[in-house]
Structure 1
């Protein structure tokens, strides 16, 4: 089981990051229930400020990874919500707090996964996540609510990342945070998932049970793309700082 790289934070600081994100997500979703479009945009600006504030204390690699997650997740949001209408938000379009919110969720999952408390209990936490996720997906398939085939598929993704991903504990954190926000967001009617995918063939729960499996793909994009992003940033800085030598007279 490969641990996440140490970024210099302590255990309490990591858990504090996760706690701040969970409190903020809860507050934003509660406030959004009756917010106007203008108020929703203010929530978005505040969420961006929180994300940037938390990232200011992170290593450059974490900043790059989070930036890629935000970009990737934003593209997914605009494709699957307003375009394909797999899920719909309370107001038209994608709320401004959603793109930075994805960055906060990723940062919280990362913080949980690298905390000493989680590392000391790695195997039990991974096992508990696999068991809880499987039970949730089975409930979505046989329970009294909507049939949830998409959730079962995403659970398979989650189990794969728990087994072969770069750090199982990151996906443990993602399961906790994503499952919480999906259940809360749909319960508050901030967004709602359609009963079927655009083909009409795949039933979807509201929310789908294994939604955390999607964050494994976000993390994979971050791991693959972050080194190239850092190199591009360094080259850009070098060009800005470079000054030609004065001409000899």
Structure 2
């Protein structure tokens, strides 16, 4: 059964986000403080696991998504070195950029994309967006109250305000927020990486938690970058698709 054509929200959710969440638990465990007690080559096993997962996903998706996955890896590579190494926004366990991180960004992108494009999910889109928004507000507010996560809360509110005027992209980015929140909780609890006590370890007026709740705002730059590159590479096809959308609206 095709994920996108599936009439079951449970099937579509499990085959996209469910599979991703299980892979995150397993893949990051291989770079966790648990696993380094077993072997000094923990990150090597995490890298191997990720590249196997990446090529399985890459093999299954269509040509358009394959191209976007390549863009995601390239953007993530430069973004990680900028935000982690150059700006010190967060720090990985070995103070490097693990090889599994850039392809990991691409897999997250694809899973969220397929979830938000599945027919059964689109059918209940308004209801899902509402529940996701409530969850995000409760999640970020809890972090603010109990963890003094001002940085995460500010980014969360910024995200929700931006999405108010983007109905077509709202489901994708709300899903991305929740997915990234899950990813960050797993990664930081495994001690794969760590966030400082203030934003960029510089801005004292923006205390942060490890992880900050609304950090998905920076993942959106990756998503927008993938779309921008695809538009530039396929200007004619993109223009044709926009015209078709306009005709359908009328």
**TM beyond 0.5:** yes
Structure 1 residue 103: deviation in Å? 0.7
Q: 1:188 to 1:158 in 2, by over 3 A?
A: same
Structure 1 residue 167: deviation in Å? 2.3
Structure 1 residue 230: deviation in Å? 5.6
Structure 1 residue 13: deviation in Å? 6.4
> How many equivalent residue pairs?
223
| Counterpart contact for 1:150–1:208, Cα < 8 Å | yes
Deviation per residue, 1:7-61 (Å, 9 max, x gap): 9843346742433222111101222113356431232133123212212222222
**Cα distance in 1, alignment partners of residues 45 and 5 from structure 2:** 32
* Corresponding residue SS for 1:144: helix
TM-score, length-normalised on structure 1? 0.79
Match of 1:194 among 196, 200, 204: 196
| Counterpart contact for 1:182–1:207, Cα < 8 Å | yes
| Counterpart contact for 1:149–1:203, Cα < 8 Å | yes
Structure 2 residue 22 is the aligned partner of structure 1 residue 16: no
| Counterpart contact for 2:28–2:190, Cα < 8 Å | yes
Structure 1 residue 188: deviation in Å? 1.8
**Cα distance in 2, alignment partners of residues 185 and 64 from structure 1:** 27
* Corresponding residue SS for 1:194: coil
**Cα distance in 1, alignment partners of residues 191 and 29 from structure 2:** 10
Gapped regions of structure 2 (runs ≥ 5): 236-250
Deviation per residue, 1:186-238 (Å, 9 max, x gap): 1222111001134333222211111223232222111111133468xxxxxxx
* Corresponding residue SS for 2:199: coil
Match of 1:144 among 128, 143, 146: 146
Name the counterpart of 1:169. Answer: 171
Gapped regions of structure 1 (runs ≥ 5): 1-6, 232-249
Q: What is the RMSD of the two structures over their aligned residues, measured on CA atoms?
A: 2.4
* Corresponding residue SS for 1:205: coil
Name the counterpart of 1:32. Answer: 31
TM-score, length-normalised on structure 2? 0.79
Structure 1 residue 93: deviation in Å? 0.3
Name the counterpart of 1:155. Answer: 156
Match of 2:212 among 203, 208, 211: 208
**Cα distance in 1, alignment partners of residues 179 and 94 from structure 2:** 24
Match of 2:131 among 128, 131, 139: 128
Structure 1 residue 65: deviation in Å? 2.0
Flag the structure with larger Rg.
Answer: 1
* Corresponding residue SS for 1:164: coil
Give runs of aligned pairs for residues 82-101 of structure 1, distance below 5 A. 82-101=85-104
**Cα distance in 1, alignment partners of residues 228 and 40 from structure 2:** 36
Structure 2 residue 42 is the aligned partner of structure 1 residue 62: no
